[in-house]
Amino acid sequence: MTQVTANVPEGTPNWLDIGVPDLERAKTFYGTLFGWQFEDTGPEGGHYNMCMLRGEPVAGMMRNPDDQPAQYWWNVYFATDDCDGLVKRVTDAGGEVVAPAMDVMDQGRMAILKDPQGAQFGLWQGQAHPGSRIVNAPGSFVWNELATPDSAAAGEFYRAVFGYEPEPMPGDMDYLVLRRAGDGRYIGGILGGSGLVLGGGGDPVPSWTTYFAVDDADAAVRKVRAGGGTVDSEPADSPYGRAAAVRDPFGVPLHVMKPAPEPES
């Protein structure tokens, strides 16, 4: 488990949120799946709900009245200390602005963008709120992954924006891992071609998807089904842990994963 007490380095995933048509149903589903409790920010915060794990915020949730299932997804935000400057870097590299940089009360400054292939992501410049306070623990995110038709082009875009070093994974899989500038820490991955998520119309949709850590991937899949979600792929083992691809009751894709134990030093 990592406890986050201050802003993390630029380019690090630092927040997640989701908009859904039925907030109470979503709270029941995710509360059961991850053990979350919820704090409503009230009218001044647009009734944005903080998803709390052991008393700390790990994600956000809001009502989205749009009734098109393709519109629902977990938004992945990346840390920056200059939201406006990074928005310009995104557009200079061929990306698109969905929502321009704006202040969120005293909590921070945010923007929503798309990369040149259409995958949406956010920026978060933390102030009072640095982002997810717990990561890499059951009930919090442990990995974020972009599915896109051209992994090489995507890797170059995110290199230009965040300074990442894309590194091909050994073997035949079309996969790049992203190393953070400065310390080389792995912060996410890019899956090319066949890993695309299907949108509401059945067309491939480039998108970021989150892996949430759980204590037991098989038990998590049972909770998904019991809560009205669906399973795209059953739990399977890899060198990185045991994971399954699932969808919540609104069709939002995510992964549940019991990470492999850290190697002993």
pLDDT in tens, 17-61: 999 999 999 999 999 999 999 999 999 889 999 999 999 999 999
Place of tokens 């992954």: 145
35 and 120 both lie in a single domain? yes
At residue 71, the pLDDT reads 64
| pLDDT attached to residue 120 | 96
Assess whether pLDDT exceeds 60 at residue 195: no
Same domain? 100 vs 209: no
Contact assessment for residue 64 and residue 72, using Cβ atoms and an 8 Å cutoff: yes
Q: Which residue has the higher pLDDT, 167 or 72?
A: 167
Determine the pLDDT at residue 211.
98
Pick 194 or 208 by higher pLDDT: 208
Query: Are residue 143 and residue 129 in the same domain, yes or no?
Result: no
CA-nearest of 178, 9, 21 to 29 is: 21
Torsion (CA) 23, 29, 31, 35 in degrees, nearest 10: -160
pLDDT of residue 197: 60
Average pLDDT on 187-211 reads 77
Residue 68 pLDDT > 70, yes or no? no
Q: What is the pLDDT of residue 203?
A: 61
Same domain, 25 and 43: yes
pLDDT at position 202 is 55
265 falls within a domain: no
pLDDT score recorded for residue 262: 76
Note whether 184 and 90 are same-domain residues.
no
Residue 60 within any structural domain of the chain: yes
pLDDT over 80 at 97, yes or no: yes
Q: What pLDDT was estimated at residue 205?
A: 81
Give yes or no: residues 16 and 89 share one domain. Answer: yes
Looking at the fold, whether 124 and 175 belong to one and the same domain comes out as no
Does pLDDT of 64 surpass 70? yes
Q: What percent of the chain has pLDDT over 70?
A: 92
**Domain termination residue (choose one: 81, 101, 134):** 134
Is residue 264 included in any domain, yes or no? Answer: no
Q: Whole-model pTM?
A: 0.94
For position 198, what pLDDT does the model report? Answer: 55
Average pLDDT score, the chain = 93
Does residue 142 share a domain with residue 127? no
Is there a domain that residue 224 lies in? yes
Same-domain pairing of 145 and 128: no
> End of a domain among 107, 134, 161?
134
Residues 123 and 155 in one domain: no
Q: What is the CATH number of the domain that holds 28?
A: 3.10.180.10
Q: Convert the pLDDT of each residue in 113-132 to its tens digit.
A: 999 999 999 999 999 999 99
**Where in the sequence is the domain holding 164, given as residue range(s)?**
138-259
pLDDT at 76: 98
Last residue of a domain, one of 134, 150, 179: 134
Total domains, the chain: 2
pLDDT above 90: percentage of residues in the chain:
84
119 and 143: one domain? no
142 and 30 inside one domain: no
